[in-house]
A and B are shown apart, each in its own frame.
Chain A
Amino acid sequence: MTTTEILNLLPYSPPFLFADELCEISEDGVKGTYTYKPDEFFYQGHFTNFPITPGVILTETMAQIGAVCLGIYLFRNKMQGPEIPQIALTSVEINFHAPVFPGEKVTVISQKKYFRFNKLCCAVEMRNSHDIIVCSGSISGFIKSKKCTKE
């Protein structure tokens, strides 16, 4: 399964897709990037006249790249025929270390802690373009597949 195929299977679309590129993926983990565009919808209100990427969006970015992309990859052999993966987030524990401003490119690095009984638990961190840790923690979710209804 190629990284492009994984990105195409992501169940998100703009303005809520936060994964541009996957640089590495394996059974053990994934590394991917996203650049926050200066006109992302949430900068309008977070904060008033002082745009900073919200922690929930950083968390979502870590989840989409670090847990969902990795989950799709690990689940690849369990999908049969025209099925698409479905993900349910089950827990998140994140610490925030530095702010992320509009236009910044971030790299998410995720390492699998375990993937058992369809539950994926990973240690995830996000770094900015200066290689400084922006946030880090642990994200878990269940993955299953459902019949694809798209043509």
Chain B
Amino acid sequence: MTTEALMEKLKGIVKPYVKSEEGFKNMTENSDFLNDLKINSANLVDVILDIETEFDIIIDNDSMEKMLNVKAAMDIITTKLNEK
């Protein structure tokens, strides 16, 4: 999957949980889920569960703790997809 395609999918997943429209409009690889997109930590769990469903992968606790920004999420998704 291309980075652009992955980014588009990720945008669709985070959209319902984003509390900063500004942050969402300017979402890049460097966006931080909590600080830039204002997703709260409880909804970050939902983002991760939705990522699992969308990509049919399992995110373990270690990966979860690293998933604080878009770049980290994309790296983890790519790694997990390659492991399949």
A interface residue numbers (CB < 8 A to B): 90-91, 114, 116-117, 119, 140-142
Contacts and interface: CB of A to CB of B under 8 A. Distances in A.
A22 B32 CA distance: 42
B49 A140 contact: no
B51 to A, nearest CB: 12
B40 A90 contact: yes
A117 B40 contact: no
A91 B42 CA distance: 8
A116 B42 contact: no
B53 to A, nearest CB: 11
B49 A116 contact: yes
A114 B42 contact: no
Given A114-B49, A116-B49, 7 more contacts: A91-B42, A116-B45, A116-B48, A117-B61, A140-B42, A141-B42, A142-B42
B64 interface: yes
Nearest to B61: A117
Nearest to A114: B49
| Chain A facing B: main interface SS | strand
Interface in B38-84: 40-42, 45, 48-49, 61, 64
A119 B41 CA distance: 10
17 contacts: A90-B40, A90-B42, A91-B42, A114-B49, A116-B45, A116-B48, A116-B49, A117-B45, A117-B48, A117-B61, A117-B64, A119-B42, A119-B45, A140-B42, A141-B42, A142-B41, A142-B42
A114 B49 CA distance: 10
A91 B46 CA distance: 12
Nearest to B40: A90
Across the A-B interface, the 7 shortest Cβ-Cβ residue pairs? A90-B42, A119-B45, A117-B45, A117-B64, A119-B42, A116-B45, A140-B42
